[in-house]
Amino acid sequence: MSERWRKPVIIAAIEASGDENDETVVLQDSDDLQRIREGYVCPNCFEPFEVPFPVTCPLCAYPVRAEAATNLERHYKGKVWVGSRISIDDELSELEERDERKNFKPGASIVVPRGVNLDD
């Protein structure tokens, strides 16, 4: 038997969706998703199994055989973007503005917002 089952699932990121009951779990390796589909990994706690689709997960007692396939079908959403929702240019502009605000020294000057032309 292959030792593939022993390989732990590596979770690259978990992004909260705003609803406390709905988290997006992002798997780093496509092999991990395949092992979940084949019943070699618990979809609830990601515990690997030597034998696919045990009746329950020995770690979290999740009913793997009864619910794993329907749970994965119901919750798997495909590839999901994790990270900033704004463009890189907007992100860099925002970081520059934060840096300018952080380094601002109050005195006898006024702050002119970026993009405002005083010559008009």
Domain boundaries, the chain: 3-75
Burial of 48 (0-12, 13-18, 19+ CB in 10 A): middle
Encoded amino acid at 38, one letter: E
Q: Is the pLDDT of residue 1 over 60?
A: no
Percent of the chain with pLDDT strictly greater than 70: 82
Strands 23-27 and 11-16, by their bridges, are antiparallel
Report the pLDDT value the prediction gives residue 32, as an integer from 0 to 100: 87
C-alpha span between 36 and 14 (Å, rounded): 17
Q: Tell me the two tokens of residue 102.
A: 């952080």
| DSSP for residue 90 | H
Of 66, 38, 68, 33, give the one whose Cα is nearest residue 52. Answer: 38
pLDDT averaged over every residue in the chain:
82
Contact status, residue 1 vs residue 10, Cβ threshold 8 Å: no
pTM of the model: 0.59
| Contacts of 52 by beta carbon, 8 Å cutoff, 6+ apart | 38, 39, 40
Please indicate whether residue 3 or residue 70 has the higher confidence score (pLDDT).
70
